[in-house]
Every structure is written in C-alpha cells, then in structure tokens.
Amino acid sequence: MTGPNGPWDASGAATDGDPLVPQSFSEWTAKIVDAFGRSWRPVIVLQVLLSVPLLILEALVTNAAGEDAVERYTSASGSDATVKDLPAAVGYGLAYLAVALILGAVVQLASFWIVVKQGAGAAAPMRSAVRFGLSRAAPLIGWEIVVAVMIVLGLFLLIVSGVALAVILVPTVLGVVAVERAGVSRCFQLARGRWLALFGRCCAMLVVALAYNQIISAILAGIFGSSAAIGAQIVSTVLSLPLSVVIVNFMVVTYAETRNAEVRCRTSELSAALDA
C-alpha cells in the first residue's frame, strides 16, 4: 500500500519512506539532513529573531561589566576581575535570561512546527508558526525549567543519573509539549525500552555539536585572537546558526522516531496533531 509519504502497512502506518519517521540509525541521520535541506531558510530566520536581541543584551552586559572583566571571567585568570557597573550588568544579564527563556521557547516551538509541516508537504507560513509558538510557550517554559532542575539535581546526586535524565528528556520534551500537549511523565513513557537508542543519538548529536563548535572557535581565534569584542560575538552567532537548525531537526526526528516505536505514526499524523 502506498501513501503520499511513501509505503504504508495494512494499518496505514509508515513502513519506510516517511519524511520524518526513521526506521534505523542510518535513516535517522538521513532524515535530519533531509529536514535541514527542506526547512533551513525559515528556521534560520526564526533563529535570527532570537539571536539579535540576545546579541544586543550581551553587548550591554559586556559594556556594563567592562570588556576587561568579561575577558577575565571567561578566561583562566578567573574571578578577580572588577565589574564596572554591577547593577546594570546584573539587570542586563537577567533580561538576557528572560529573553532566552521566553523568546527561545517561542522560536523552538515555531521551528518544530515548520519542520513538521514542511515534512508533511503542507504550507508553513511564518505567521502561523509564530502563532503556534506563542500558544504553547508557557507550558514549554514551565516544563523546560522542570527538566533543567531534574538534570542539575541528577548531576549533583550522581553524574550517571543526570546523564540518564538528559538522554530521556532533552530530545523528547519539545515534541511532547508541541504535539501531545503533555509533560515530563510522557517523556519517560516514550523512552521506555528506548534509552540506549536515545543515548546513541544524543552522543552522535553531541559529537557533531562539539566538532562544529571547535571549528567556530578556530575561526574566531584566527580572526580575533582571544578578544571578547562584539565583532567576535556577532561572527560566532552567525556561524552557529546552521548548528541551531540541525539541533531543531534532531529534536523533531528523534521525537518522531521515539513516538513511532511506541505507536506507529507518520509525519502527516504529527502535522495534524499540531493543529488539534
């Protein structure tokens, strides 16, 4: 039996060829690459909408603290730096965290929506994506705070438990909130019997991210040396945009694979669930 997204079995579930639902590690990798090719333009636009205010606030923090203090805090020379204007630096720092949390949640959800919609072959206007992000931002912010607290506590209590929680929660919480309107307990249900598979995929994504960041660091060192100037921050942000798109695709495809392993599904069903 054949459907618009490839072959289906008798129940209508995807057997192979689905745009976002992989059946193996190699397909998982290929579908992330395919999703990047389909959706990188609108997702990068969303990432820029997040990066610009964060860059401005980062520059304000640097100006309030003093560039020398920032360089010393971010180097091995450490904590003996003198902050030029501590209240302003703290205020801008808190504003940075608020924007990163609130606008970051909207951008994550809107990016997820676009990747799924385009994977299903549906229209994916930016306005609808942002509207969806705004509608689900509050639950995502709440659950991301819970996830962060759980992982940090797990790392303090026992490093292995923190890693185990991160493997379960980080790749699944965005999809769970966006598609299923559920929370952390649902992440554990999806990960049941899939922890090793999730661990392998998280390790692969981590290796890619570390390697890419090393390349960025080498480029920045060649251009700016050890300077923390705003120019270095801008170039670093621009070079990091493709990695941000890959991470979104990683979350979409990993969630789709994990959900399909529990109850077989297809991209068109995930797309419909976003509109429910």
Q: Is residue 207 part of a domain?
A: yes
What's the domain range around 124? 24-136+193-274
* Average pLDDT of every residue of the chain: 88
pLDDT tens track for 171-217 = 999 999 999 999 999 999 999 999 999 999 999 999 999 999 999 99
Q: Is residue 84 part of a domain?
A: yes
Q: How far apart are CA 12 and CA 266, in angstroms?
A: 9
Is the pLDDT at 43 greater than 50? The verdict is: yes
Q: Is residue 149 part of a domain?
A: no
pLDDT tens track for 54-93 = 999 988 888 877 665 555 555 544 455 576 667 888 899 9
Q: Is residue 160 part of a domain?
A: no
Q: How far apart are CA 256 and CA 172, in angstroms?
A: 9
Residue 43 corresponds to which amino acid? V
Q: How far apart are CA 249 and CA 242, in angstroms?
A: 11
Q: pLDDT value at position 223? A: 85
Q: How many domains does the chain have?
A: 1
Model pTM? 0.88
Q: Is residue 9 part of a domain?
A: no
Q: pLDDT value at position 63? A: 80
pLDDT tens track for 226-258 = 666 778 888 999 999 999 999 999 999 999 999
**Secondary structure class of 75 (helix, strand, coil):** coil
Q: Is residue 6 part of a domain?
A: no
Q: Is residue 209 part of a domain?
A: yes
Q: pLDDT value at position 226? A: 66
Q: pLDDT value at position 159? A: 81
